[in-house]
Amino acid sequence: MKIRIYEDYEAVSQAAAEYMKEAIDTKPDVVIGYATGQSPIGMYRRLREAVRSGELDMSRTTGFNLDEYCGLEKGHPKSYKEFMKEHLFNDVPVRDAHIPDGNASDLKRECETYDGMIKAVGGLDIQILGIGENGHIGFNEPASSLLVETHVERLDEVTRRNHAVDFAGEDNVPTFALSMGVGGILKSRRVLVIASGKKKAKAIGAMVSGKVTTQCPASLLQLHPDVTVILDREAAEGLQCITV
Ligand code: GLP
């Protein structure tokens, strides 16, 4: 893993945006796996600004989001579809942007179709990732085994607690979500992990130098040949804290 440590969230966002801009300039029809959450918001803002100023063209890019909640009504402000519109796609023309439909009548089929679409465009060039405090990536939660393909995931307690603020209480946080599998993430040609803040330190330590285990899904990234990790100082404190 290539680890880069920056002062704070703003510097992390700047570095991540530079990474993405270079990738898009080099391959204008790049296929991007998008993540949601606080971690990439600053990077998305910079990409929006770069597109607005004419410095960057994303019009030939294709996107696939990592995950989506199940059971939120259409247009729910906390759905990842709305998140992506707000933080990127309302302002940035792209060729295509896909997100799994957490309300599909046949969720299993939705997952298969989603993986089929990714395959049909030749796979992901770059997967952007945040990391959960419990080491999850996408919504692949710590478990005794993990799934390769896109699937329905039951959200774990830590995750539901961490998202409680978005839904005015833990009880309102959806119980299920669709998520790309760890296999799908590892198939991406490159992976960009973004993390900041003390709360991520332990998970980052386990991801970078802990045991490779399904109990810390992010640790499986150690098996990938091209992972760049962009951290702030606080999240990097975890690099001394090797725990699983
Ligand atoms: C959610 C998302 C993940 C994201 C994680 C961390 O669980 N499904 O894709 O990486 O939250 O979010 P944040 O960046 O807000 O800490």
pLDDT of residue 243: 47
What digits encode the pLDDT tens for the residues 133-161?
999 999 999 999 999 999 999 998 988 99
Q: The whole model's pTM is what?
A: 0.96
Report the nearest-CA residue for atom 13 of ligand 1: 37
Q: What average pLDDT does range 169-193 have in this prediction?
A: 96
> Strand order in 151-154's β-sheet?
67-69, 176-179, 151-154
Q: Tell me the H-state helices in the chain.
A: 9-26, 41-52, 80-84, 107-120, 157-162, 182-187, 201-209, 233-236
Catalytic residues: 67, 134, 136, 141
Contacts of 80 (CB under 8 A, 6+ apart): 36, 65, 67, 68, 69, 99
Q: Could you tell me what percent of the chain has a pLDDT over 90? A: 95
Substitution candidate for ligand 1 out of 131, 158, 185, 229 with most atoms within 8 A of CB = 131
Q: What separation in Å is there between the alpha carbon of 132 and the centre of ligand 1?
A: 6
Ligand 1 binding pocket (C-beta < 6 A) is 35-39, 66-67, 130-132, 138-139, 159
DSSP H or E segment with residue 179: strand 176-179
Q: Would you say residue 244 has pLDDT above 70?
A: no
Beta strand ranges found along 196-242 (DSSP E): 227-232
Q: Would you say residue 170 has pLDDT above 50?
A: yes
Q: What average pLDDT does range 110-126 have in this prediction?
A: 98
